[in-house]
Structure 1
Amino acid sequence: MRAYSIASPAWDDKLEFYSIKVEDGPLTSRLQKIEIGDTVLLGRKPVGTLVLDALLPGKRLWMFSTGTGFAPFASLVRDPETYERYDEVIVTHTCREAGELEYSTRLVNDLINDPLVGEMVVREDGSSRLKLITSLTREDHPIKGRITTLLETGELFDAAGTAPLNPETDRVMICGSKDMIDDTAKLVEGFGLTEGSNSQPAEFVVEKSFVG
């Protein structure tokens, strides 16, 4: 058994998952070879902490992700409720190599044509309410560095064209490796944001089923 974030939106009648292929992985070594007609066993009850109800109302929603940690955000950026709650949505995706950004870049670029949320993503003046900011750690890229470094230096906010995180207006979701989540959460707390939960919504939330 392995925990996988569901990448498809809540309204979809199909389940979509986003994973890397690990040759000797206990699950992915087999999962990458499945064919139509094969059986995959799923747990009956989905669980997770990256839900909108765990956050207080705000103006701007940030989604910080590394690697396959982009998966839950692939779901949320296709959910109409996200745009009903926030005026602006900014997704960051940090990977090692450029090829790992293909999925997130393609999904966000195609979202303008989405029949359900396409019109919600675009403002009346033609600007987009959704931004994707990508960075790499091992290859040359317009933005290079870990998300923690970009937060510390302020380069992230320069790229987004926003002020630094503000607990009055900004809400944050974090998903990646355990170390990435821990380090990023500490930085977010340094901006004055408090971690929330379903029972006690606040300014940021992290994924507890560690991925990518």
Structure 2
Amino acid sequence: MPAAPEAKYTEETVLWVKHHTDKLMTFAITRPEAYRFSAGQFSRLGFRDGEGFIWRAYSVVSAEYADDLEYFAVLIPGGPMSAKLAELKAGDTVLLDKNATGFLLPERFVDGKDLIMLCTGSGIAPFLSILEQPEIWQRFERLALVHSVSYADELIFNERIAQLSEHPLIGEYTGRLRFIPVLTRETGGRLNRRLPELLKSGELSAALEIPFTPADTRFMICGNPAMVKDTFQALLDMGFAMHRNRIPGQIMMENGF
């Protein structure tokens, strides 16, 4: 007999909520002792909705060893899940699927010297988790995070990334990280075009001061579907290939949640 739906999730308490703009929010919930995930994976969060449930996937921002679970959400006007999240406050409850999932995992790469993480919007979430893992800093010689957003007020994690240099587990390695924010709808950023265009023109490689080669460079892409598709195609045109379990390549990608 299949397990009852209730057996597939736990009910967790919201610890804090922060609204960064009218569309961007972060929040944290309690973490069950048995909950396990790998940096780069996502959780399914849900609410009771009438006689049923509403579920959505959100990448975990927290480190694997964190005591709580943090998430980053972009609120979509008219979205049923966004409506629930917009009203969220400390002390409320959220449903958490017991199993994390996802394959945006840097350990799947069998080789490579440089890890380039390309993201738009909420696609930065899995990379924030990955960057708090000591193993990633020891595995790659250079790390690069490129976060593309429309406007400067959407770059809500810049300070957090800067503070990695004070992290007790990884602070000594953070000189290996290059971080570049990209603005696409206003000037003022170091780069101001879409990621696929920056790849094709060579501007991104030059800005990072990292040559992109199939032998050394590994790419992880997460964000809106149009960006993921176009960036993937740009990399294919540059001679890189999708990474598959039985056929090692240089690209892993996932649509942002």
TM superposition score normalised by structure 1 = 0.90
Query: In the superposition, relative to structure 1, how do residues 54 and 201 fare at CA in structure 2: closer, same or farther (>3 Å)?
Result: farther
Q: Distance in 2 between matches of 1:118 and 1:200?
A: 34
* Residue 35 in structure 1 maps to residue 89 in structure 2: yes
Identity %: 34
- The one-letter code sitting in structure 2 at the alignment partner of 1:18 is F
Q: How many residues are matched?
A: 202
**2:146 match: secondary structure:** strand
- Asked whether the equivalents of residues 92 and 133 of structure 1 are also in contact (C-alpha less than 8 Å), the reply is yes
Q: Distance in 1 between matches of 2:86 and 2:107?
A: 34
Q: CA deviation at 1:23?
A: 4.1
* Residue 13 in structure 1 maps to residue 67 in structure 2: yes
- The one-letter code sitting in structure 1 at the alignment partner of 2:91 is G
Q: Distance in 2 between matches of 1:22 and 1:177?
A: 13
Alignment-derived partner of residue 154 in structure 1: 202
Compare CA radii of gyration and give the structure with the larger one: 2
Q: Distance in 2 between matches of 1:18 and 1:201?
A: 31
Higher mean C-alpha deviation, range 49-58 or range 145-154: 49-58
Q: CA deviation at 1:199?
A: 5.6
Q: Distance in 1 between matches of 2:228 and 2:236?
A: 12
- Asked whether the equivalents of residues 91 and 133 of structure 1 are also in contact (C-alpha less than 8 Å), the reply is yes
Offset from partner CA, 1:114-152 (integer Å, 9 cap, x none): 11111122xxxxxx1011111111111231111011111
**Aligned CA-pair RMSD:** 1.5
Alignment-derived partner of residue 88 in structure 1: 142
Alignment-derived partner of residue 61 in structure 1: 115
Structure 1 runs of 4+ off > 3 angstroms?
A: 197-201
Offset from partner CA, 1:151-199 (integer Å, 9 cap, x none): 1111111111122x21100001000111111111111122222212456
- Counterpart among 184, 187, 196 of residue 234 in structure 2: 187
Offset from partner CA, 1:34-57 (integer Å, 9 cap, x none): 222211011111111210222122
Q: Distance in 2 between matches of 1:21 and 1:110?
A: 26
**1:144 match: secondary structure:** coil
Structure 1 segment 40-189 matched on structure 2, within 5 A: 40-103=94-157, 105-121=158-174, 128-141=175-188, 142-163=190-211, 165-189=212-236
Offset from partner CA, 1:32-79 (integer Å, 9 cap, x none): 322222110111111112102221221100000001111110111111
Query: In the superposition, relative to structure 1, how do residues 74 and 198 fare at CA in structure 2: closer, same or farther (>3 Å)?
Result: farther
- Asked whether the equivalents of residues 83 and 120 of structure 1 are also in contact (C-alpha less than 8 Å), the reply is yes
Q: Distance in 2 between matches of 1:115 and 1:198?
A: 34
**1:8 match: secondary structure:** coil
- The one-letter code sitting in structure 2 at the alignment partner of 1:77 is L
Q: Distance in 2 between matches of 1:199 and 1:76?
A: 23
Q: Distance in 1 between matches of 2:210 and 2:89?
A: 45
**2:96 match: secondary structure:** coil
Query: In the superposition, relative to structure 1, how do residues 5 and 72 fare at CA in structure 2: closer, same or farther (>3 Å)?
Result: same
Alignment-derived partner of residue 125 in structure 1: none
Q: What runs of 5+ residues in structure 1 fail to find an aligned partner?
A: 122-127
